[in-house]
Amino acid sequence: MHKNQGPVYYNDYLMLEKFLDCQQPLSRKYADQSNPEAHDETLFIVVHQAYELWFKQILHDLNSILKIFSQSKVHDHELGTVVQRLERIRKIQVMIGSQLEILESMTPMDFLEFRNLLIPASGFQSTQFREIEIKLGLNTHDRQSIDREFFLGRLNEKDRQKLIELEGSPSLLKLLEAWLERTPFTISGDFNFWNEYQKTVQAISSEDEATIQSNMANLSDREKQMQLENLKVTRETFESLFDEEAHAQLVSAGGRKLSRKAILNALFILLYREEPMLALPYQMMSLMMDIDENFTTWRYRHALLAQRMLGTKIGTGGSSGHQYLKRAADNNRVFVDLFNLSTYLIPRSRLPQIPEAVKRQLNFHV
């Protein structure tokens, strides 16, 4: 704990004189009698500066999480810290999402009073937000529906090089993958959880097929074929969990990002999340999905705001405006593999029994 070194004055501590002088509307600079200052430009600046402040805090917390996961072993108490900081990032996201409502109090015609002064500035150039995306696991090579050169070309040389270099560092997605691959419990002695899981899945699949066959009299030929095709696809999806070649093809096609081993261990955590030792890992993965979902929602709301303000006009940075932002919201996600784990869930009543020795490892005991 640090000791107080003397009296501290609120305004000095927060550097308010400097901070509150950072809102300098361009329309004020160029104002004259025929073109007065655009009143809502101050709001535009304040909202975007507030975003950047909160991005700074998100990066501060995210960097600490990356540092923890960069270790060869993550201790239990550190996992609690990760969960606490992911939760704070989630809460910040909820709060910055509400700032769009404040921005929407500016009408499209109010925006047009100063919009042309901003060209070619763009949200593309928020280096902090791009840092967040890259550190989470969305690298510029992975971005869909956008030309990488166009994307990086909106940045100055310093910021462009910073982001390119950052892409060479392990992201949270990759560090999570390595951590999941080290997860124990699924194979121990004579116990192989995945053999038991596969037997259960095959039994459920056979039951589903029997149900379809027993209802054949009530189905048209087309309905029978559709149900049998759906069952075939379901079986192939489950089988891809245990086929390294099939998994590699999905990764190559962009259908999966994590390794097969990481996905299997993440699924085990999800299936047995009520076990004490898996509660924090499950909460951590849930928060990662929340953060991914919140950024997707924020991008989508941003797209709607752009359409509301600009209609079909080109954005100030040269993008297609609303259409680009909508595609970004639909396609640029990080933890898709965690969302897709629900595909492989089975009823709790059909979960394989865990041996007592493994059960003890998963519980707090003396």
* pLDDT attached to residue 274: 92
Among 287, 343, 358, CA closest to 80: 287
Q: Is 316 known to sit in a ligand binding site?
A: yes
Is the CATH code 3.30.420.40 the one for domain 10-184+254-342?
no
* pLDDT attached to residue 366: 46
192 — pLDDT class (breaks 50, 70, 90): confident
Give the mean pLDDT of the chain: 89
Give the SS3 label for residue 192. strand
* Spatial distance between the Cα atoms of 337 and 118, rounded to a whole number of angstroms: 39
* pLDDT attached to residue 123: 80
66-70, 114-118, 192-196: which has the highest mean pLDDT? 66-70
Q: Is 302 known to sit in a ligand binding site?
A: yes
* Spatial distance between the Cα atoms of 93 and 126, rounded to a whole number of angstroms: 16
Name the DSSP class of 169: S
**Helix ranges (DSSP H) in the chain:** 10-13, 16-19, 26-29, 41-69, 76-103, 108-112, 115-118, 127-136, 148-153, 157-166, 172-181, 193-214, 221-239, 244-252, 260-271, 276-310, 322-331, 336-339, 356-362
Q: Is 238 known to sit in a ligand binding site?
A: no
Distances (CA, A) of 168 to 137, 138, 254: 11, 12, 20
* pLDDT attached to residue 322: 59
Tokens of 94: 């909820």
Q: What percent of the chain has pLDDT over 70?
A: 93
Q: Is 46 known to sit in a ligand binding site?
A: yes
* Spatial distance between the Cα atoms of 352 and 196, rounded to a whole number of angstroms: 6
Length of the chain: 366
Instruction: State pLDDT tens for residues 195-247.
Output: 999 999 999 999 988 888 887 777 787 888 888 899 999 999 999 999 999 99
Q: Looking at residues 260-265, what average pLDDT do you find?
A: 95
Q: Give the global pTM.
A: 0.90
Instruction: State pLDDT tens for residues 114-152.
Output: 999 998 888 878 999 999 999 999 987 776 556 677 777
User: What sign for the dihedral angle of Cα 8, 24, 115, 324?
Assistant: negative
pLDDT at 265 over 90: yes
Q: Looking at residues 166-178, what average pLDDT do you find?
A: 96
Q: Is 44 known to sit in a ligand binding site?
A: yes
Looking at per-residue pLDDT, the higher value among 366 and 47 belongs to 47
